[in-house]
Structure 1
Amino acid sequence: MQTNFGKIGFILAALGSSIGLGHIWRFPTATGTSGGSAFVLLFLAISIFIGVAMLIAEMLIGQQGCKNVPDSFKEIAQNKQTPWRFMGFVLITGPVTLTFYCAVLGWVLYYLVSVSFNLPIDFLQSKEIFESFSRSTAQLPYQLVCFGIVLLITAYSVAHGIRGIEKLNYILMPLLFFIFFALLFYAMTLQSFPQSVNFMFKPDFSKITSEVIVDAMGQVFFSLSLGAGTILTYSAHIGKQQNLLSSALFIVISGIIISLVAGLMIFAFVFEYGDFNNIGDGEGLIFITLPVMFGHFGIFGSILSIFFMVGLLFAGISSTVSLLEPCIKYLCDRTKVSRVKITYMVTSGIFLAGVLVILSLNADIGHYFKFFGQSLFSLSVSLSANILLTWGSFLITLFIGYFVKKETLQTWTSSYFRSNIIFEIWYFCIKIIAPLMIIMIFANKFYSFL
């Protein structure tokens, strides 16, 4: 079985881990509710400087450790009993995230094969369609089937190891960009396209608030899957000569491009046919607003909907594969059970947990699956995004910034940080800026919870 990525294969796999619902679903929604251009400008700046810096930090641990998540920390620390071995806690991030992430992709699959051919004519009907599917007991079998299909595709790809992951991303990533650029070119023909451009790029610094800054920082961390162990695990399968700076730049810039394309295209449709107040949060934009927009195009709207949902599905599946891999690699390294068996055993456990998450949204029995006044779906989202990813990212920056010697980092990065000034900027971002940003995000979420 192939054990290492090729140069392009690694970049595509890492790109697949970052381009998912965060870029295509969460970014437009956050832009619409967090100040438009103010949010976009902050997102771009933070992505280029802090996002790239943190990607390199996580890649370094995998590249130099060459093992699974906890063993890579032990390898670099040269101490099997180092407290850093407990970084293995990030391995649960993927399975926890998959319990709701695959459920959402199940909704995408349902909309692809069903709703795209019978698009709603107004927002009331669109909301009823979504509520009926995601909340009603009658539609529960369809939800579970769609959820199971997404997990099965994920498991099949991961079970085939690095070769399977590499092949999947060689197919999905080019198709994803083709689909979204095709949709963008069509959106450019709409009269509302200039309005979409102004909304996303015309500077309005008066809208920059502390809340918008925190939202932009959170979007960068979520969209790049920082702190989940995915990038670290993938980086364990590359050579020591891989240029991490160029790899990180390619991943971040590609993610920025797909985010901006999705935003421009979606807002062009919204401004052309919709009510901007219907953007909403979470599922509102993708599953309620956009179907109505597509419905205005008649038969051609069904084609647009199919293309969009296929692109979203592709992006999501590339991310689900990445979320599952760190856990599987660890278990493969620690047991004598075959990779195929481990993959399907873990996936079965995620499916059972995911069923409970889906049931927590059900209008008839959801109250049995609520804790602290929240559904299991909401709790799994909060645990993943607000705690596991945040603390995983924070500890990785502390490890690279304060535990690994500066001279060692200079040796590791000398082949691509040709200038000492560039190294010092990166080191300052990792040691000072990134930890402070993560503390700000966590403090904001904790304050909101209170």
Structure 2
Amino acid sequence: MTQRETWTTRLGFILAAVGSAVGLGNIWGFPFQAGRNGGAAFLLVYLVVVLLVGLPAMLIEFVVGRRSKKNPVDAFRELGYGSWTFAGALTAFIAFWILSFYSVVGGWVIRYLVGSLTGAYFGGTEVGNYFLSIAMGPDAVAFHALFMLLSVGIVALGVSDGIERATKLMVPSVVVLLVGIAVWAATLSNAGAGYDFYLSPDLGEVQWGTVIPYAVGQAFFTLSLGMGAMITYASYLGEDDSLPADGGIIAVLNTLVGVLAGLVVFPVLFHYDPNIDLSGAGGSGTAFTTLSSAFAGLGSGGRVLASVFFFVLLIAALSSSISLLEVVTSYVLDNTDYERSSVSVGAGSAVFLFGLPAALGLNWLGLQDASGIDTLTWYNDIAYNLLLPLSVLAVAVFVGWVYGRDALDEIRRGSETGNWFSVTWLWFVRLVVPAGILFTLVLGVQTLLVNAQVLAGPVFEFG
């Protein structure tokens, strides 16, 4: 087996972890999750979830990763609890599952970046038709492959030379460019209406049955929890790093990027259409079709804005995809003598093949109807509402109730926080995190069952 790599600097780990968290889930998904779930009400619930559930859960994964110095699958065995290996295997499977459709969306981002630079969807009826022309079929497969190739290229270079160097460039670029676009968006007419929708909570708009599970799922997704990424990244950490301090910085930066994305998206949308209704937004292409229409409505300035926005989106998507690909890569490297370059190519190829159905057609096997539920939305809902909560729950139960005393030792190592913090954190892990996840699971499964009933008609009518 090859010698295990490490981060060269603490900043490298923080930016890599932020890069894992700051991806399509923040910039592509977050504003539209907020849009269809009450705007500011969703934002408020999301922030509470990040504080009470997300940050404690992130520290759980840091503890497992740094203590074991192993990939998620082998981590539990290394800690002396081989019967819990299933929890790590679940996180690795989820990373593989999510990356398979995430890469398809990454291909769309590349197409929209090219389309923005060339003006391909500006003018006439092209805005409405462009998404359908690029979202499925041979072109979508080709750009799905290109996105995976970019991800593989970075991971193949290694932890310090590839992931760390790339994220040190990517993450600051995302933040700087988003701030610039947000400042420009503030000058648009009707931007105030967008801010009101996004920043003025109306708790009467909260539909608890949908907002809470999506807010928890969004928190897990945007913090890269339940996918093995944070376990993997923490396994490359040194002993002197403060896990609570690093986790707090990562959670704050991740949340700020999500909020920044909303400060770009909502002023643009409300400038484009002061009466826009996002409550019924559904389907995986909503962000692309709605935003591209808004950008096209801004004239020549819209082309520049769109180009910068989709460039930011591409950087963010790559910074997340490399973390998910590293989960699979690290498992093989920890258990074989293969070279990293060969392993990353093999893992990327497997992910590409698994994602082909989503790239070949949004209505694969007829799974699409007027409700806007499509193959990618179905993949996404399974990840958000079922797999991620189950994965985080399993690791939380292990750390809180099985590994408790050793977990306290690990959370204190390299940290200047008092005993009160570690003990409070452990009880949050034991009680608050599982309670929040279980409540979310019940609501999330109900949502999946409703969607399954909607999809049952097309499936049974197939053929």
1:356 and 1:369 in contact (8 A); partners too: no
Instruction: Name structure 1 gaps, 5 residues minimum.
Output: none
Aligned to 2:6: 4
Deviation at 1:121, TM superposition (A): 4.5
Aligned to 1:30: 33
Aligned to 2:289: 288
Quick check: 1:331 aligned with 2:328? no
Aligned to 2:120: 118
| SS of match in other structure, 1:385 | helix
Quick check: 1:299 aligned with 2:313? no
Aligned to 1:141: 138
2:188 and 2:267 in contact (8 A); partners too: yes
Structure 1 segment 345-384 matched on structure 2, within 5 A:
345-361=346-362, 366-367=364-365, 377-384=376-383
Q: 1:58 to 1:86 in 2, by over 3 A?
A: closer
Aligned to 2:407: 409
Segment drifting more, 280-289 vs 26-35: 280-289
1:119 and 1:302 in contact (8 A); partners too: no
C-alpha separation in 1, matches of 2:377 and 2:296? 30
Aligned to 2:151: 154
Aligned to 1:241: 240
Out of 46, 49, 59, the position equivalent to 2:52 is 49
C-alpha separation in 2, matches of 1:410 and 1:289? 47
Segment drifting more, 45-54 vs 416-425: 416-425
Amino acid at match of 2:75: S
Deviation at 1:65, TM superposition (A): 0.7
C-alpha separation in 1, matches of 2:84 and 2:188? 57
Q: 1:94 to 1:281 in 2, by over 3 A?
A: same
Deviation at 1:427, TM superposition (A): 1.8
Deviations 1:140-185 (A, max 9, x none): 3322221111100101111112021101101111111111111001
Aligned to 1:169: 167
Quick check: 1:188 aligned with 2:158? no
Amino acid at match of 1:94: A
Deviation at 1:382, TM superposition (A): 3.7
Q: 1:359 to 1:85 in 2, by over 3 A?
A: closer
Deviation at 1:375, TM superposition (A): 6.1
Segment drifting more, 184-193 vs 160-169: 184-193
Deviations 1:184-205 (A, max 9, x none): 0101112323222222222323
Aligned to 1:227: 226
Amino acid at match of 1:153: L
C-alpha separation in 2, matches of 1:85 and 1:134? 35
Quick check: 1:75 aligned with 2:78? yes
Deviation at 1:235, TM superposition (A): 0.3
Quick check: 1:443 aligned with 2:442? yes
Q: 1:88 to 1:171 in 2, by over 3 A?
A: same
Segment drifting more, 59-68 vs 296-305: 296-305
Amino acid at match of 2:187: T
Equivalent pairs: percent with the same residue? 28
| SS of match in other structure, 2:421 | helix
C-alpha separation in 2, matches of 1:33 and 1:377? 17
Q: 1:86 to 1:395 in 2, by over 3 A?
A: closer
Q: 1:206 to 1:335 in 2, by over 3 A?
A: same
2:64 and 2:231 in contact (8 A); partners too: yes
Amino acid at match of 1:263: G
Deviation at 1:93, TM superposition (A): 1.6
Amino acid at match of 1:36: G
C-alpha separation in 1, matches of 2:174 and 2:447? 35
Deviations 1:326-381 (A, max 9, x none): 1111111111221111111121122222222212326xxx43899xxx86544433
1:11 and 1:251 in contact (8 A); partners too: yes
C-alpha separation in 2, matches of 1:369 and 1:204? 34
Amino acid at match of 1:160: L
C-alpha separation in 2, matches of 1:356 and 1:100? 9
1:229 and 1:326 in contact (8 A); partners too: yes
Q: 1:97 to 1:410 in 2, by over 3 A?
A: closer
C-alpha separation in 2, matches of 1:357 and 1:266? 26
1:119 and 1:294 in contact (8 A); partners too: no
Quick check: 1:39 aligned with 2:42? yes
Provide runs of 4+ in structure 1 moved above 4 Å.
none
| SS of match in other structure, 1:35 | coil
| SS of match in other structure, 1:313 | helix
Aligned to 1:397: 396
Q: How many residues align?
A: 436
Amino acid at match of 1:319: S
Deviation at 1:86, TM superposition (A): 5.4
Amino acid at match of 2:89: G
1:2 and 1:161 in contact (8 A); partners too: no
Normalised by the length of structure 2, the TM-score is 0.88
Deviation at 1:276, TM superposition (A): 1.4
Quick check: 1:200 aligned with 2:202? no
Amino acid at match of 2:228: G
Deviations 1:398-431 (A, max 9, x none): 011100133x333222353633332233122211
C-alpha separation in 2, matches of 1:287 and 1:83? 41
Deviation at 1:387, TM superposition (A): 3.2
1:358 and 1:377 in contact (8 A); partners too: no
Segment drifting more, 158-167 vs 438-447: 438-447
Q: 1:132 to 1:85 in 2, by over 3 A?
A: closer
Quick check: 1:21 aligned with 2:21? no
Aligned to 2:277: 277
Q: 1:149 to 1:442 in 2, by over 3 A?
A: same
C-alpha separation in 2, matches of 1:225 and 1:95? 13
Deviation at 1:25, TM superposition (A): 1.4
C-alpha separation in 2, matches of 1:392 and 1:69? 11
